[in-house]
């Protein structure tokens, strides 16, 4: 039976027929692998996700973690799933071989992880956080920190968190107040003591394994103001002795759990540091180990942000994808109504997939989730090319492209694969609005993605305020060059591909002109006021580009799968790409409606 989590056929098309990830094995970094090992990893991920993650997705939603003031209780299936994941050595799948990792390309690892997000995004969340934490320590940790904290995480003994947000500081991390005081004497000399409160910390407390490694942003007294004064610390729940055993409890405690709309299976916590509930060496303060140099903590976090944001995009896509497949299945099996051309009420009703409007909703979902998946895997392959670059030019061009595409790879799926979930509910009619079916949960789970890892609005400021203008627009030029390459090749093919290429080229040229005009005006306030409109327009153009790429890869191939690709691509160009016209008009006019609106007028 075909899975309703993801389409393996589509993954194979994108990875092997379009992106040719098997060619990565010609590079030294990936030389140990082959198309067979890649396929084996995808098989394994599908099997584990189906067997251990999907079965408790609804149960963990209905039975969210609880806290009795001492211990957090989580349904046992979560631990069983995470243990199975660790036993399969998947935590380190993308990491360097010298750390015990499989050194798989990110494109393959991202496709593998998508299975777990589609099956159970909450339980997968524990893995994602541990991987993000481990990636950061692999890059910036000392050899001792790697041995004490990273290796146990890769073995599944410890898990990881990312502690950035505070109650008063979410988008604006410059305003965090958690402080880290240097400790000069005693058994913890050379470490720091942390005091403060962190908000929204996913996976912040549980008993799923031996220890939790918190990566915490804090300010050392006397640090420069703002983001330039933020440092990064490892704060383990239990202190770890030199031989690696877990020892005394550290002074970090759970203040309470947040009760969420979706994503309910993973704990979301308020953590207090340094309140004195536990007293290492007889005094309050959570023992923290500085990562890298003082005051550079945020830059370390940002370094990892590309992958973390891509990970959020992949999660959003997976939820959109499984909702699409489930609504497709439903539409094929739900008889209701008759074709508009049938007048005879005694004829049997048809499956709703026969109605053009239901096909519209399915096509929209297909075009969003398959378009977004193409973008995510394209970005993942850019990471692989960067990591295995064979020349400075290759490193430069992959970095420039990845920089500008990252906010889009995070925000576009978070917006449009959520819309796919909305449409999946609609296809199910009243049944979709009930908890007996899966799609309402997918919608609630997916609603987080435009909020965390930088909100939708913050992504747009990053795109327009930083990435587009950085280095005199070098990233935008790199993206334009990549789009033009596809346009030229599709133009050379002629026919339908040539026509679509002409549409994309015209819209793209207009975007580039308007971008120049927005900054030439000198009215930065007006330019940035509509940054979300800008990001949404660029996002649609990028996904149109991804569809043209997929249609090129399907060119000359027969069969339902390829016909489906062509039709979804047509849908995107006919129904979605034209939406960018009014957006570009608004941007061109440097509209000031939002700026001029006053608080009192609401």
Ligand X SMILES: Cc1cc2nc3c(=O)[nH]c(=O)nc-3n(C[C@H](O)[C@H](O)[C@H](O)COP(=O)(O)OP(=O)(O)OC[C@H]3O[C@@H](n4cnc5c(N)ncnc54)[C@H](O)[C@@H]3O)c2cc1C
SS (H, E, C) 494-535: CHHHHHHHHHHHHHHHHHHHHHHHHHHCCCHHHHHHCHHHHH
Cα dist from 73 to 206, 211, 261, whole Å: 7, 16, 19
62 and 122 Cβ atoms separated by less than 8 Å: no
Instruction: Quickly count: other Cβ atoms within 10 Å of residue 339's Cβ.
Output: 11
Q: Which is nearer to ligand X, 262 or 323 (CB)?
A: 262
Q: Is 2 helix (H, G, I), strand (E, B) or coil?
A: coil
* Least separation in angstroms between CB 233 and ligand X: 14
Phi, psi of 407 (to 5 degrees): -60, -30
Closer CB to ligand X, 205 or 384, in the complex: 205
Residue 164 CB, nearest approach to ligand X (Å) = 3
The set of residues, in sequence order, having a beta carbon less than 8 Å from that of 257 and lying 6+ positions away, is 65, 66, 67, 72, 205, 267, 268, 269, 270
Smaller CB separation from ligand X, 202 or 486: 202
According to CB under 6 A, which one of 91, 113, 153, 162 is a site residue for ligand X? 162
Element (H, E) at 254: strand 252-257
Residue 307's contacts (CB-CB under 8 Å, 6 or more residues apart) are 106, 132, 135, 383
Nearer to ligand X, 268 or 397 (CB): 268
| Least separation in angstroms between CB 199 and ligand X | 7
Residues 165, 197, 477, 503: which binds ligand X (CB under 6 A)?
A: 165
158/200 with CB nearer ligand X: 200
Structural contact between residues 168 and 175, judged by C-beta atoms closer than 8 angstroms:
yes
What residues from 444 to 503 belong to the interface with ligand X (CB under 6 A)?
448, 451-452, 455, 457-458
No. of helices (H) and no. of strands (E), the chain: 19, 12
State yes or no: residue 170 binds ligand X (CB under 6 A): yes
Tell me whether residue 432 or residue 450 sits nearer to ligand X (CB atom). 450
Q: Could you give the string, one character per residue 390-429, with x where binding to ligand X holds by CB under 6 A and - elsewhere?
A: ----------------------------------------
Give the nearest distance from C-beta 303 to ligand X in angstroms: 16
Cross-strand bridge partners of residue 213: 160, 236
CA atoms within 13 A on the CB side of 503: 24
Catalytic site residue 36? no
Residue with smaller CB distance to ligand X, 253 or 382: 253
The one catalytic residue among 166, 205, 453, 536? 453
Question: Residues 6 or more apart from 240 whose CB is under 8 A from it?
Answer: 148, 149, 211, 246, 247
Q: Of the listed pieces 163-171, 314-322, 396-404, 568-576, which binds ligand X according to CB under 6 A?
A: 163-171
Q: Site residues for ligand X, window 268-287 (CB under 6 A)?
A: 268
Site string for ligand X, 184-203 (x = CB under 6 A): ----------------xxx-
Do 479 and 516 touch, CB atoms closer than 8 A?
A: no
Q: Is 260 in the site for ligand X (CB under 6 A)?
A: yes
Number of residues binding to ligand X, judged by CB under 6 A: 18
| Least spacing, CB of residue 285 vs ligand X, in Å | 21
Residue nearest to ligand X (CB): 170
> CB of residue 266 vs ligand X: minimum separation in angstroms?
8
By CB under 6 A, tell whether 163 contacts ligand X: yes
β-strands 268-273, 158-163 pairing: unpaired
Please name every residue paired with 211 in a beta bridge, in sequence order, or none if there are none: 158
Least gap, CB of 441 to ligand X (angstroms): 15
Q: Smallest distance, Å, CB 262 to ligand X?
A: 8
Which member of 13, 115, 263, 573 binds ligand X (CB under 6 A)? 263
The most distant pair of C-alpha atoms in the chain lies apart, rounded to whole Å, by 90
Q: Which of 171, 485, 589, 594 binds ligand X (CB under 6 A)?
A: 171
**Hey, is 246 helix, strand or coil?**
strand
Our CB check for ligand X shows the closer of 202 and 515 to be 202
- Annotated catalytic sites, by residue? 453
Summarize as ranges the residues that interact with ligand X (CB under 6 A): 162-165, 170-171, 200-202, 260, 263, 268, 448, 451-452, 455, 457-458
């Amino acid at each position: 039976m075909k899975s309703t989590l993801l389409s393996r056929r589509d993954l194979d098309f994108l990875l092997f027929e379009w992106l040719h990830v098997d060619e990565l094995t010609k590079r030294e970094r990936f030389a140990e692998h082959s198309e067979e090992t890649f396929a084996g990893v995808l098989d394994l991920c599908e099997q584990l996700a189906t067997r251990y993650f999907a079965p408790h997705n609804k149960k963990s939603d209905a039975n969210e973690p609880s806290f009795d003031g001492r211990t957090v209780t989580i349904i046992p299936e979560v631990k069983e799933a995470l243990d199975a994941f660790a036993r399969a050595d998947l935590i380190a799948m993308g990491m360097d071989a010298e750390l015990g990792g499989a050194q798989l390309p990110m494109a393959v690892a991202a496709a593998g992880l998508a299975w777990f997000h589609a099956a159970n995004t909450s339980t997968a969340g524990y893995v994602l956080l541990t991987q993000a934490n481990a990636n950061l320590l692999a890059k910036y940790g000392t050899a001792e920190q790697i041995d004490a904290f990273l290796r146990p995480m890769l073995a599944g003994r410890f898990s990881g968190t990312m502690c950035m947000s505070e109650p008063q500081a979410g988008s604006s991390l410059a305003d965090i107040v958690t402080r880290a005081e240097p400790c000069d004497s005693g058994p913890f000399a050379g470490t720091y003591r942390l005091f403060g409160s962190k908000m929204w910390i996913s996976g912040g407390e549980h008993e799923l394994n031996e220890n939790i490694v918190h990566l915490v942003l804090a300010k050392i007294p006397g640090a420069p103001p703002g983001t330039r004064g933020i440092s990064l610390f490892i704060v383990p729940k239990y202190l770890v002795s030199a031989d690696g055993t877990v020892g005394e409890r550290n002074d970090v405690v759970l203040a309470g759990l947040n009760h969420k709309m979706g994503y309910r299976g993973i704990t979301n916590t308020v953590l207090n540091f340094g309140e004195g509930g536990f007293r290492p060496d007889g005094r309050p303060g959570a023992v923290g180990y500085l990562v890298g140099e003082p005051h550079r903590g945020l830059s370390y976090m940002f370094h990892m942000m590309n992958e973390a944001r891509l990970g959020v995009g992949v999660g959003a896509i997976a939820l959109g994808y499984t909702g699409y497949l489930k609504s497709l299945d439903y539409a094929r099996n739900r008889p209701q109504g008759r074709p508009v051309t049938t007048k005879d009420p005694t004829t049997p009703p048809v499956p709703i997939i026969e109605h053009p409007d239901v096909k519209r909703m399915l096509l929209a979902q297909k075009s969003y989730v398959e378009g977004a998946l193409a973008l995510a895997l394209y970005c993942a392959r850019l990471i692989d090319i960067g990591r295995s670059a064979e020349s400075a030019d290759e490193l430069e061009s992959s970095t420039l492209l990845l920089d500008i595409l990252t906010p889009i790879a995070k925000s576009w799926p978070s917006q449009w694969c959520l819309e796919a979930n909305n449409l999946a509910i609609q296809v199910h009619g009243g049944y979709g609005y009930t908890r007996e079916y899966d799609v309402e949960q997918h919608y609630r789970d997916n609603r987080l993605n435009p909020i965390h890892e930088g909100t939708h609005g913050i992504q747009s400021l990053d795109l327009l305020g930083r990435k587009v203008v950085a280095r005199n627009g070098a990233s935008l030029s790199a993206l334009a060059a990549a789009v033009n390459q596809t346009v030229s090749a599709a133009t050379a093919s002629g026919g339908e591909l040539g026509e679509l290429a002409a549409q994309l080229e015209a819209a793209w040229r207009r975007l580039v002109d308007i971008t120049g005009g927005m900054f030439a005006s000198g009215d930065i306030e007006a330019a940035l006021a509509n940054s979300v409109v800008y990001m949404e327009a660029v996002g649609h153009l990028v996904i149109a580009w991804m569809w043209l790429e997929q249609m090129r890869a399907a060119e000359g191939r027969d069969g339902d799968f390829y016909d489906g690709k062509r039709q979804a691509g047509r849908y995107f160009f006919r129904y979605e790409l034209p939406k960018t016209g009014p957006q570009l008009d608004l941007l061109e006019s440097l509209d000031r409606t939002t700026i001029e609106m006053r608080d009192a007028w609401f």
